[in-house]
């Protein structure tokens, strides 16, 4: 081992070949005169990137001789739009290119002044782990071969004179610079200047009068309030910005039926720097129940407040804010009308980050209290069985009861692709379902003899559990599932793609127990790709003009924006690849649209109709399955492509307003991708 290290050092010295362990990193701009640059050795761990840090600088700790080199970088993390730019010295020119994560990226670089090379990685969205960072010399003739080969991809964009090397080098740098993504990751300090401050300047009325309408209640020192109509609970040392009172007052005057309102919030450090914004959505009851860090920015009617204090006092929990707030929410919710409003403005600055070591962890005592509270008081939510802290310790997991004689009807449309179907069926039997089930296989003109033999095998082995029905018409996903509805005997239907493979236990129990709750509509699961990255964690409307899967491509060990990947919460829609709904509700809503949405967006349309009927759609993180996405269907082209565009048009026309303003997604987050990153898009704030 020692001998190998000596050889490596010798090669580095003779050939100027350097690996990632010869680099240092920093998040301090090395060209800034204001701060001292703190360089740290580059190791195997992830470099933390937060909302205000979207750049990392890497410096080789050796001076390089003047010559041609190849730079190679490979990094992990959710950084699809990252851009790498190499400079040598303060006045060196940038040699850049797109360096998206998950794949090795190369480029030819020229070291001209024998200085320390510095590589800046910008437009970062996520923590980054550098797996490889190599720089090694190449002969000049080989550099020109690589440059010429790379420029073949840019023949249409640039006039390339291969005989003029200086011209080729300029074009090479221009061409790779153009690969920089047009998607710019917004950082929070810039967002404050561009969006928040502009809005406040245009709409703010600074007047101390507005704060006189509210009673501030310090957490831990609650009391009944009779002289004012509204109270604001707050933690000691936390800050309420001066504009908050005006906008609270304005919303209350506009919404005469308002009993509770909550606002967006962020964190603030001892230097007054703001970070970690918590941008919320319209009222999300399920997220409130599961998320101990739902928020601190509340304004509550004193009538509701006093009643809640009285109820809490009976349980000797008058000073427990979690309990008092739960009672407040309960008193609003049982009126059946939604008197809880969201103010989409930052109106609270917390001194402690809700996403670092001081995170407000879920509390065992509160989980027991919540279980008893729902069981004895809030029975309209459903029949609760238990409440526990979830496995990742990010919040609470609610377990709901099911009747003893429960049957889940699993509908699987399929055509050949036997290997996928077998994995799907095997997973249903190998992973504990938790309730009795039947499987309805809808065969859409399979031709493979092995598939037909497999059907016969299933009939013999699972005679009472599996039924195979023929559907011999043209492929129409909506019509196939609607047709299968008549054969379903269970109270809950699970629509399941044949390319879905369950990998968690009690998946059926979770889906069933939530689907039978009184006001729950469609219930979806966490789906991952075979490489264990997220494929679906709910659907966000408006992404790419129609809809996109929340947290797509995130690593499975990530919790997502405000821990939502790991928490049960309401979403506007879930994918039909694994969607449960009670049979009665499916019939009441009107089933899938098999006329206008035969293949695509029928699941989104069904979920939006469920919302229109007053039902809530849920994402369940505990139901985990691999989705070999669209493995059973070929790439859309020709007629299929036209069908896809037609169905997009139908969805947009039918649900234009809600697609433009997803009520369960913040207007300050991006619609360009599914990563919940900040956006500079300007939306009119509706109070």
Indicate whether 488 and 616 sit together in one domain: yes
β-bridge pairing 436-443 and 466-470: parallel
Cβ within 8 Å of residue 382, ≥6 positions away: 400, 401, 513, 514, 516, 517, 518, 520
Residue 373 lies in a domain: no
Say what the pLDDT of residue 520 is. 98
- Please give the backbone phi and psi of residue 598, each rounded to the nearest 5 degrees, phi first: -75, -35
What is the C-alpha to C-alpha distance for residues 351 and 498, in angstroms, rounded to an integer? Answer: 49
Handedness of CA 415, 417, 418, 419 (dihedral sign): negative
CB half-sphere exposure, 677, CA atoms < 13 A = 26
What is the C-alpha to C-alpha distance for residues 26 and 43, in angstroms, rounded to an integer? Answer: 12
Indicate whether 109 and 142 sit together in one domain: yes
The answer, yes or no, to whether residue 358 has pLDDT greater than 60, is no
Confidence of residue 637 (pLDDT cuts 50, 70, 90): very low
Say what the pLDDT of residue 343 is. 96
What is the C-alpha to C-alpha distance for residues 59 and 43, in angstroms, rounded to an integer? Answer: 13
Indicate whether 328 and 416 sit together in one domain: no
DSSP state of 12: H
Say what the pLDDT of residue 651 is. 96
User: For the chain, how many structural domains are there in total?
Assistant: 3
CB atoms within 10 A of CB 43: 12
The answer, yes or no, to whether residue 550 has pLDDT greater than 50, is yes
**327: three-class secondary structure by DSSP:** helix
pLDDT tens, residue by residue, 101-134? 888 999 999 988 777 899 999 888 778 889 999 9
Indicate whether 421 and 285 sit together in one domain: no
Question: What distances in angstroms separate CA 106 from CA 109, 118, 133, 423, one per listed residue?
Answer: 10, 16, 10, 38
CB atoms within 10 A of CB 38: 10
What is the C-alpha to C-alpha distance for residues 680 and 687, in angstroms, rounded to an integer? Answer: 19
Output b/e per residue, 405-417; b: 16+ Cβ within 10 A.
ebebbbbbbbbbb
Say what the pLDDT of residue 466 is. 96
Lowest mean pLDDT among 49-53, 312-316, 364-368, 537-541: 49-53
Indicate whether 346 and 437 sit together in one domain: no
What is the C-alpha to C-alpha distance for residues 17 and 132, in angstroms, rounded to an integer? Answer: 13
Output b/e per residue, 286-300; b: 16+ Cβ within 10 A.
bbbbbbbbbbbbbbb
Average pLDDT for the chain: 89
What is the C-alpha to C-alpha distance for residues 302 and 233, in angstroms, rounded to an integer? Answer: 11
Q: Phi/psi class of residue 363: alpha, beta or left (left: φ > 0; alpha: ψ in -120 to 50)?
A: beta
The answer, yes or no, to whether residue 219 has pLDDT greater than 90, is yes
Q: Rounded mean pLDDT of 212-229? A: 94
What is the C-alpha to C-alpha distance for residues 185 and 187, in angstroms, rounded to an integer? Answer: 6
- Please give the backbone phi and psi of residue 23, each rounded to the nearest 5 degrees, phi first: -110, 155
H/E stretch holding 616 reads: strand 616-627
What is the C-alpha to C-alpha distance for residues 108 and 137, in angstroms, rounded to an integer? Answer: 10
pLDDT tens, residue by residue, 437-478? 999 999 999 999 999 999 999 999 998 999 999 999 999 999
pLDDT tens, residue by residue, 247-277? 999 999 999 999 999 999 999 988 898 988 9
The answer, yes or no, to whether residue 14 has pLDDT greater than 70, is no
Among 144, 177, 210, where does a domain finish? 177
Residue 547 lies in a domain: yes
Among 334, 360, 386, where does a domain finish? 360
Highest mean pLDDT among 30-34, 275-279, 608-612: 608-612
Indicate whether 157 and 250 sit together in one domain: no
pLDDT tens, residue by residue, 519-540? 999 999 999 999 899 999 999 9
Indicate whether 252 and 283 sit together in one domain: yes
**Alpha-carbon 523 to chain mean position:** 17
Confidence of residue 632 (pLDDT cuts 50, 70, 90): very low
The answer, yes or no, to whether residue 353 has pLDDT greater than 70, is no
Indicate whether 172 and 238 sit together in one domain: no
List the CATH number of the domain containing 145.
2.60.120
CB contact at 8 A, 601 and 648: yes
What is the C-alpha to C-alpha distance for residues 608 and 524, in angstroms, rounded to an integer? Answer: 14
Q: Rounded mean pLDDT of 589-607? A: 96
For every residue of 95-163, DSSP letters joined together read: EEEE--TTS-EEEEEEE-S---EEEEEES--S-BEEEEEEEEE--HHHHHHHHHHHHGGGTTTS---TT
Residue 244 lies in a domain: yes
CB contact at 8 A, 254 and 271: no
**Alpha-carbon 292 to chain mean position:** 18
Residue 644 lies in a domain: yes
pLDDT tens, residue by residue, 493-523? 999 999 999 999 999 999 999 999 999 999 9
Alpha helices in 334-476 (DSSP H): 364-376, 418-430, 449-461
CB contact at 8 A, 389 and 367: yes
CB contact at 8 A, 66 and 117: no
pLDDT tens, residue by residue, 148-191? 888 888 877 777 777 788 888 988 988 888 888 666 777 888 89
Confidence of residue 294 (pLDDT cuts 50, 70, 90): very high
Cβ within 8 Å of residue 585, ≥6 positions away: 515, 521, 610, 613, 615
Bigger pLDDT: 101 or 238? 238
Closest CA to 453 of 425, 418, 414, 499: 418
β-bridge pairing 384-389 and 396-400: antiparallel
Closest CA to 548 of 420, 651, 476, 411: 651
What is the C-alpha to C-alpha distance for residues 133 and 71, in angstroms, rounded to an integer? Answer: 7
What is the C-alpha to C-alpha distance for residues 256 and 636, in angstroms, rounded to an integer? Answer: 50
What is the C-alpha to C-alpha distance for residues 385 and 7, in angstroms, rounded to an integer? Answer: 64
What is the C-alpha to C-alpha distance for residues 202 and 581, in angstroms, rounded to an integer? Answer: 46
Say what the pLDDT of residue 432 is. 97
Q: Which domain holds residue 117?
A: 2-177
Residue 672 lies in a domain: no
Q: What angle do CA 392, 393, 399 make, to 5 degrees?
A: 85
CB contact at 8 A, 372 and 401: no
Q: What angle do CA 431, 437, 441 make, to 5 degrees?
A: 95
Indicate whether 127 and 216 sit together in one domain: no
Residue 671 lies in a domain: no
For every residue of 471-489, DSSP letters joined together read: --SS--HHHHHHHHHTT--
121 CB burial (10 A radius; 0-12, 13-18, 19+)? buried
Residue 438 lies in a domain: yes
The CA-to-CA distance between both ends of the chain, in Å, stands at 67
H/E stretch holding 275 reads: strand 274-278
Indicate whether 486 and 607 sit together in one domain: yes
DSSP state of 193: I
Confidence of residue 62 (pLDDT cuts 50, 70, 90): confident
Closest CA to 554 of 125, 16, 192, 19: 125
Cβ within 8 Å of residue 548, ≥6 positions away: 539, 540, 673, 674
CB contact at 8 A, 33 and 89: no
Handedness of CA 462, 467, 473, 474 (dihedral sign): negative
Residue 378 lies in a domain: no
The answer, yes or no, to whether residue 589 has pLDDT greater than 70, is yes
List the CATH number of the domain containing 572.
3.90.550.60
Confidence of residue 563 (pLDDT cuts 50, 70, 90): very high
Question: What distances in angstroms separate CA 623 from CA 329, 437, 500, 548, one per listed residue?
Answer: 28, 16, 12, 20
Say what the pLDDT of residue 634 is. 42
Longest dimension (CA), the chain: 88
Say what the pLDDT of residue 50 is. 62
Bigger pLDDT: 601 or 672? 601
Indicate whether 480 and 520 sit together in one domain: yes
Task: Show the 3-state SS of 538-554.
Answer: CEEECHHHCEEECCCCC
Among 300, 328, 360, where does a domain finish? 360
Indicate whether 147 and 197 sit together in one domain: no
């Amino acid at each position: 081992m020692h001998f190998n290290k000596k050889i490596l050092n010798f090669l580095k010295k003779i050939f100027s070949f350097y690996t990632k362990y010869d680099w240092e990193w920093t998040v301090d701009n090395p060209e800034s005169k204001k701060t001292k640059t703190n360089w740290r050795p580059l190791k195997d761990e992830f470099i933390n990137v937060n909302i205000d840090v979207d750049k990392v600088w890497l410096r080789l700790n050796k001076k390089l001789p003047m010559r041609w080199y190849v730079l190679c970088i490979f990094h992990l993390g959710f950084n699809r739009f990252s851009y790498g730019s190499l400079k040598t010295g303060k006045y060196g020119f940038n040699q850049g290119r797109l360096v998206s994560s998950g794949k090795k990226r190369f480029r030819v670089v020229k070291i001209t002044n024998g200085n320390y090379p510095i590589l800046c990685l910008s437009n970062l969205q996520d923590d980054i782990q550098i797996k490889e960072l190599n720089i090694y010399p190449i002969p000049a003739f080989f550099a020109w071969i690589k440059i010429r080969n790379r420029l073949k991809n840019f023949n249409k964009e640039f006039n390339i004179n291969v005989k003029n090397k200086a011209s080729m080098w300029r074009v090479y740098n221009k061409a790779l610079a153009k690969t920089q993504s047009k998607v710019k990751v917004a950082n929070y300090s810039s967002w404050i200047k561009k969006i928040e401050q502009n809005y406040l300047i245009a709409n703010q009325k600074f007047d101390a009068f507005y704060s006189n309408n509210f009673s501030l209640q310090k957490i831990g020192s609650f009391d009944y309030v009779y002289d004012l109509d509204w109270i604001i609970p707050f933690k000691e040392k936390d800050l309420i910005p001066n504009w908050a009172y005006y906008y609270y007052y304005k919303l209350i005057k506009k919404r005469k039926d308002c009993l509770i309102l909550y606002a967006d919030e962020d964190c603030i450090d001892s230097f007054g720097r703001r970070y970690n914004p918590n941008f919320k959505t319209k009222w999300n009851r399920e997220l409130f129940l599961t998320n101990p860090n739902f928020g601190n920015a509340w304004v509550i009617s004193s009538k509701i407040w006093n009643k809640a204090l009285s109820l809490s006092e009976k349980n000797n929990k008058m000073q427990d804010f979690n309990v008092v707030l739960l009672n407040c929410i309960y008193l609003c919710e049982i009126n059946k009308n939604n008197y809880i409003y969201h103010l989409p403005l930052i109106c609270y600055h917390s001194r402690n980050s809700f996403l670092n070591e001081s995170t407000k962890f879920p509390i065992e005592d509160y989980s027991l209290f919540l279980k008893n509270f729902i069981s004895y008081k809030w029975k309209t939510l459903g029949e609760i069985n238990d409440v526990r802290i979830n496995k990742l310790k990010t919040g609470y997991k609610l377990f709901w009861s099911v009747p003893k004689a429960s049957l889940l009807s699993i509908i699987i449309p399929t055509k050949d692709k036997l290997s996928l179907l077998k994995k799907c069926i095997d997973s249903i039997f190998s992973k504990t379902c938790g309730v009795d089930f039947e499987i309805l296989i809808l065969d859409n003109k399979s031709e493979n003899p092995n598939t037909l033999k497999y059907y016969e095998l299933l009939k013999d082995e699972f005679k009472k559990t599996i039924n195979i029905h023929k559907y011999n018409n043209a492929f129409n996903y909506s019509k196939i599932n609607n047709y299968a509805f008549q054969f379903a005997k269970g109270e809950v239907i699970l629509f399941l793609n044949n390319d879905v493979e369950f990998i968690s236990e009690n998946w059926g129990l979770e889906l069933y127990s939530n689907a039978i709750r009184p006001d729950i509509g469609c219930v979806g699961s966490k789906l991952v790709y075979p490489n264990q990255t997220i494929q679906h964690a709910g659907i966000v409307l408006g992404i790419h003009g129609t809809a996109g899967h929340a947290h797509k491509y995130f690593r499975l060990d990530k919790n997502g924006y405000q821990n939502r990947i790991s928490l049960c919460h309401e979403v506007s829609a879930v994918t039909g690849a694994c969607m449960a709904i009670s049979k009665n509700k499916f019939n009441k809503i009107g089933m899938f649209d098999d006329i206008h949405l035969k293949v695509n967006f029928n699941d989104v349309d069904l979920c939006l109709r469920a919302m229109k009927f007053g039902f809530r759609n849920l994402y369940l993180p505990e139901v985990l399955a691999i989705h070999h996405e669209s493995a059973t269907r070929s790439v859309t082209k020709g007629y299929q492509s036209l069908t896809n565009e037609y169905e997009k048009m139908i969805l947009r026309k039918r649900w234009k307003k809600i697609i433009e303003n997803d009520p369960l997604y913040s207007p300050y987050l991006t619609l360009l991708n599914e990563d919940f990153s900040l956006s500079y898009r300007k939306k009119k704030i509706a109070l």
